[in-house]
Chain A
Amino acid sequence: MTTSEKDPVLVVLQLSGGNDYLNTVVPYSDSLYYDYRPSVRITEDRVLRLDDKVGLHPSMRPIEQMYAQGDVAIVHGVGYENSPRSHFRSMDIWHTCEPDTLGTEGWLGRVVRELDPDKENVATAVSLGSTLFRALSAPDVPVACVDNLDSYGLLTSISDERRREKLLERYKQLYAPAIGNGPVMDFLSRTGLESLKGADILKVAPERYSSSIEYADNAIARKLKAIAQVHLAGLGARIFYCDHGSFDTHSNQMGAHAKLWRDISTGIQDFFDDLREHDAADNVVMLVFSEFGRRTQDNGSGTDHGAAGPSFIIGDRVKGGQYNDYPSTKPDDLEQGDLVPNNDFRGVYSTLLEDWMGLDATPIVNGTFEKPAFL
């Protein structure tokens, strides 16, 4: 596979735990909002207005600025029918595009298989975090699962570099393919060398990196910085995945939600500034989503699990603005007290796949869905 540096790159940032739609993109001109939210509310004077109807959470100043520059698309009312309001199940649905059956293959796993069918680059997809997100998992599709980029690799608990090098050299020989070992052992050999190769490839990213941007010291900033480092190193990575949370704000939401969005907004702005400084922003698009929104009515100190949420698509090539309508907040229009999704998440994926990654979306998202035109 040949990659030019300008191949389209997709970064997915998952807001784990269920982000509160109403306090993220606030319908500040809607009096019902204040009725539903006697305690967990953003007062009108603090809303960062986008237009005469909605505005952003006051922690999202950097996003507001990027929105003003036309780099942020907000898709309203995203979700799917019959939301189960379960974190795990809902996240599975987003990851597998299978709302009716239990799917095991991730949509981005399929994308990696399309992008690199011969597995020429084991770092085509890079996942930041301890667990491999199901979105990226598909049989025999390599994904570099990076907990900490600076210490990514095999046998990292061995601190003596000389000893570690010696052991890695031996590991390479032990995993060298051998005749007559049978298919399972061959597969293990291949996989062992793949992980070694992935580590070797990614190792150079922090070494090659230099930037005037100083990221904040928090979890999401560290992940976004690692993504920038790998992207800027030109290693051919096309898909990045990371998450931040927990957005599961059943109680004490006001302070927690503000901090989460402050860290994320600042991190995203630093990330794109970093890429722009290196002339490497124009082939990157970021999707920000959460598995569901939260209950319309607050519970006194927080909010419970809901349904529809907003998706953010950010990047220089994005057609900024708002897509789709804000779901109706009228009591009769709510389902089990929640905003009803009016835009299938698989449509958002489809726009990203077809109009950004240049792939046929139908087999990846399991169907054809209306595509919001943010690209």
Chain B
Amino acid sequence: MADKEIALMAHLMRRAGFGASSSELHERTAVGYEATVEELLRPDRQKEVDMLDLLRYHPWAWKPGTAQGMGHASWTYRLLNTQTPLQEKTALFWHHVFATGVSKVDHWDEVMDMIDLFHDKGMGNFRDLLLDMAKNPAMIFWLDNNENHSHAVNENWGRELLELFSMGVGSYTEDDVRECSRAFTGWTITPKLPRYPMGRFDWGFEYKDDDHDHGEKSFLGHTGRFNGEDIIDIICEQPATARFIARHMYNFFVADEAQVPAWSVTPPRDPEAIRALSKALMDNDYEIRPALRLLFNSDFFKEARVSKMKSPAEVVIGTLRMAGGSEFPAPGLGMLSRQAGYMGQDLMNVPSVEGWHTGAEWINSGSLMRRTNFFAEVMGDTERPGVRAIVDGMRSKGDVPPGEFVDGCLNLMGPLEVDDRTRGQLVSHAAADGDLRWAPDEESESTERVSEMLQLIVSLKDYQFA
């Protein structure tokens, strides 16, 4: 099988999922690229992760309330075990877009419900998703729509709906924000029930007709006694909305763009790609699946290798899936689920509605050290089945000189692409101890050497990119 095809499949699996092992890449390449894209787009044909397995060992993960730490455990468990990686990746994508944090919601349960919603409907229809968001209790509280009353309008949700979730700055006026907010008056949450020791009972959505402003509104050139759903319909008629969502998709799946607030003043990296993606959205009535299909099959995607900084969640989950051994909901799951947070991406706790700042902004001296130390610890554990498989893969090649040793490891880990200078460094590191040999008395030393090479590779700058 051509190396080029394997490398392309590895790229697809890194972006549409969290990476894949060498053997999985070979199997998928045999099936074909487009067929793999189709399979990824149809999660309903795969087996779901059994969440009851998790609850059997971590009952707290069901409704963690305000308990620290366990909130992201269930999502981490699903991410580590999923056989429908694009479904989870898309959920993560919408979490980046509809950025919501437990910092304000103060209760994991509602944020978890929101993630479940992305999981279930993230590849469905964007208009439906917007409507679901407008009725989502975590979102309502996060953006104060429970404080948006007919007699006292609160513009927080109304503004962010236009600015960050649909059209972007510059496509609407302040009057539109006001009128949009009026249309969502009365969209609130059921009263907060009293606290019990570790939290409170879940919120539900409630539409209060008597707190809704029934008057006439003028929104983006349309006039009528609009309610929230009418506003969402008008929003989705706007080409600006398709363009904005296309840009979000490009930024998440294809290549790092400027940070979202700068989009109104920074042109896209690839205007042609944005045009194609927005057209796919408009032509298909905002169905997400066709746009994703176009994206993954496009040349602009295939040519965008190594042009995105991996987010902490991507790189933690990807590394743990590569190394294997964390699938079972063992007691350390809470620790694992906090790792991405230590690196600056506390899942379900986005710092602000603007979303995480991505790309190079993921990196600072503390977070880079965290990344390096955690990945090196994981890859240094030769008991992990994925690490063991790489060692076995190297052993099956027999005795090899340093160059083949390095290339073998890079291949089995990805294949990962590194520049010549980096490869040269790795080769001279390997050369210090000579050829890699598998004679019985050299086997344990060679296992160590492979593991050490894996540790060095996950410490590379190049490893931070997808």
Hey, which bits of chain A sit against chain B, CB under 8 A? 84, 86-89, 91-92, 102-104, 122, 127, 130-132, 134, 137, 139-145, 154-158, 163, 166-167, 170-171, 173-175, 178, 181, 183-185, 187-189, 191-192, 194-195, 198-199, 246, 250-251, 304
Contact = CB atoms under 8 A, between A and B. Distances in A.
A239 to B, nearest CB: 14
A173 B429 CA distance: 11
B368 A192 contact: yes
B459 A174 contact: yes
A122 B103 CA distance: 29
Interface string B93-112: 00000000111101000000
A184 B359 contact: yes
B197 A157 contact: no
A104 B365 contact: no
B380 A157 contact: yes
A195 B365 contact: yes
B461 A189 contact: yes
Contact of A170 (B198, B366, B377, B456): B456
B104 A144 contact: no
A344 to B, nearest CB: 20
B363 interface: yes
Interface SS of chain B: helix, strand, loop or mixed?
helix
Contacts of A139: 357, 361
**Residue of A141, A181, A195, A304 contacting most chain B CB atoms (<10 Å):** A195
A170 B425 contact: yes
B364 interface: yes
A304 B195 contact: yes
Assign chain B's interface to a size class: 35 or more
B341 A131 contact: yes
Contacts of A132: 342, 344, 366-367
B387 interface: no
Contacts of B104: 84, 86, 88-89, 92, 102
Given A155-B372, A155-B376, A102 B351 contact: yes
B352 A144 contact: no
Contacts of A188: 360, 363, 368, 461, 464
B382 to A, nearest CB: 13
Nearest to A146: B366
A104 B376 contact: no
Nearest to A96: B351
Interface string B442-466: 0000000000100110011100100
15 contacts: A86-B103, A92-B103, A131-B341, A132-B342, A139-B357, A142-B364, A155-B455, A157-B376, A171-B372, A174-B422, A174-B459, A178-B421, A184-B360, A192-B368, A198-B369
Given A87-B66, A92-B103, A102-B352, A154 B372 contact: yes
A173 B338 CA distance: 31
A88 B106 contact: yes
Q: Tell which of A139, A171, A184 has the most Cβ of chain B within 10 Å.
A: A184
Interface centre among A88, A142, A163 (most CB of B within 10 A): A88
A138 B363 CA distance: 12
Interface in B315-359: 338, 341-342, 344, 349, 351-354, 357, 359
Contacts of A183: 360
Nearest to A188: B461
B201 to A, nearest CB: 16
Contact of B456 (A84, A167, A189, A246): A167
Contacts, number: 129
A104 B353 CA distance: 10
Given A154-B369, A191-B368, 18 more contacts: A86-B104, A86-B106, A88-B106, A102-B353, A104-B352, A127-B366, A130-B342, A131-B342, A134-B351, A155-B455, A155-B459, A158-B455, A166-B429, A192-B461, A195-B369, A198-B369, A199-B369, A250-B197
Contacts of A175: 461
A282 to B, nearest CB: 30
Contact of A142 (B102, B353, B357, B365): B365
B91 interface: no
B309 interface: yes
Contact of B363 (A145, A163, A187): A187
B258 to A, nearest CB: 13
B278 to A, nearest CB: 27
Contacts of B421: 178
A88 B461 contact: no
A130 B68 CA distance: 14
Contact of B425 (A130, A173, A185): A173
Contact of A87 (B106, B341, B373, B422): B106
A158 B195 CA distance: 46
A38 to B, nearest CB: 19
Given A89-B104, A192-B461, A143 B364 contact: yes
Nearest to A178: B421
A122 B365 CA distance: 9
A251 B197 contact: yes
Contacts of B366: 127, 132, 142-145, 195
A144 B365 contact: yes
A140 B461 CA distance: 17
A9 to B, nearest CB: 20
A304 to B, nearest CB: 7
Contact of A154 (B363, B373, B429): B373
A199 B365 CA distance: 10
